[in-house]
């Protein structure tokens, strides 16, 4: 069973529907025992980093997610859920993340050219780093395949973990992985067949 972590933030039902479409048993839950007994965990999220991090901590699920990830259970963060995997974010002040992946979440405004709208909303092609093998998360997709983004902040200072980037006036982090912990800045559940194939690959990790 895949546990979709419910801590009051995230597009949960479309994600569950996407997983069920590819034949996966998924449950939306805020129950620590169910998350602990799951085979995989997905941490979704939309909105501001600080608010989401506080809700996750208030629920006590931050400890659960970290403990399970450190035991080796596959964990996928999506959009803000990916950002929460990092050490910190400077969105509306400095906020601590889960610290599962080294790096910091920062505004894209200083790096994208003037005239580019922020937030970045739309479809962009994936580019894979040339200095490392293609991640197992992308075993069923090709470089250049398009996925759907909605974000104003991006992960930086995380070169070793980057498994995909996307060009939006600058090359921005699109996906990261460190052993069993991975994340996508884009929404697989909103990315059509490409997104379904990414979720399918995660379910095989």
> Of residues 79, 158, 182, 203, which has the active-site annotation?
79
Q: How far is CA 100 from CA 56, 178, 191, in A?
A: 15, 8, 25
Please give the Cα distance from 70 to 61 (Å, whole number).
14
Residues sharing a CB contact under 8 Å with residue 67, sequence separation 6 or more, in sequence order: none
Is 189 annotated as catalytic? yes
The overall pTM is greater than 0.85: yes
What pLDDT, on a 0 to 100 scale, did the predictor assign at position 62? 97
Q: Give the domains, in start order, of the chain with CATH numbers.
A: 2-202 (3.40.50.880)
What pLDDT, on a 0 to 100 scale, did the predictor assign at position 147? 98
What are 39-96's pLDDT values in tens digits? 999 999 988 999 999 999 999 999 999 999 999 999 999 999 999 999 999 999 999 9
Please give the Cα distance from 174 to 85 (Å, whole number).
14
* 3-state SS class at 9: coil
Q: Tell me the pairing of strands 75-78 and 40-43.
A: parallel
What pLDDT, on a 0 to 100 scale, did the predictor assign at position 77? 98
What pLDDT, on a 0 to 100 scale, did the predictor assign at position 9? 79
> Of residues 68, 120, 189, 203, which has the active-site annotation?
189
Q: Taking a C-beta distance cutoff of 8 angstroms, is the pair 22, 15 a contact?
A: no
Q: Residue 127 carries which DSSP code? A: B
Is 187 annotated as catalytic? yes
Q: Taking a C-beta distance cutoff of 8 angstroms, is the pair 60, 32 a contact?
A: yes
What pLDDT, on a 0 to 100 scale, did the predictor assign at position 56? 95
Q: Taking a C-beta distance cutoff of 8 angstroms, is the pair 135, 175 a contact?
A: yes
Please give the Cα distance from 75 to 41 (Å, whole number).
5
Give me Rg for the CA atoms of the chain: 15
Is 151 annotated as catalytic? no
> Of residues 95, 120, 151, 187, which has the active-site annotation?
187
Q: Which residues of the chain have pLDDT under 50?
A: none
What pLDDT, on a 0 to 100 scale, did the predictor assign at position 8? 86
Q: Taking a C-beta distance cutoff of 8 angstroms, is the pair 155, 103 a contact?
A: yes
Q: Taking a C-beta distance cutoff of 8 angstroms, is the pair 41, 73 a contact?
A: yes
């Amino acid at each position: 069973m895949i546990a979709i972590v419910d801590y009051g933030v995230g597009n949960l039902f479309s994600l569950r529907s996407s997983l069920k479409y590819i034949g996966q048993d998924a449950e939306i839950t805020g129950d620590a025992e169910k998350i602990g007994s799951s085979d995989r965990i997905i941490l979704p999220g939309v909105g501001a980093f600080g608010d989401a991090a506080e809700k996750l901590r208030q629920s006590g699920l931050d400890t659960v997610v970290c403990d399970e990830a450190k035991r080796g259970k596959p964990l996928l963060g999506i959009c803000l859920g990916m950002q929460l995997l990092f050490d910190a974010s400077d969105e509306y002040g400095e906020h601590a993340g889960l610290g599962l992946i080294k790096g910091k979440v920062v505004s894209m405004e200083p790096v994208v050219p003037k005239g580019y709208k922020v937030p970045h909303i739309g479809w962009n092609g994936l580019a894979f780093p040339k200095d490392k093998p293609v991640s197992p998360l992308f075993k069923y997709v090709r470089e250049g395949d398009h996925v759907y983004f909605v974000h104003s902040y991006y992960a930086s200072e995380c070169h070793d973990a980057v498994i995909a980037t996307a060009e939006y006036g600058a090359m921005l982090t699109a996906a990261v992985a460190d052993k069993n912990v991975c994340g996508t800045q884009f929404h697989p559940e909103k990315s059509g067949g490409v997104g379904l194939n990414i979720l399918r690959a995660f379910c095989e990790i």
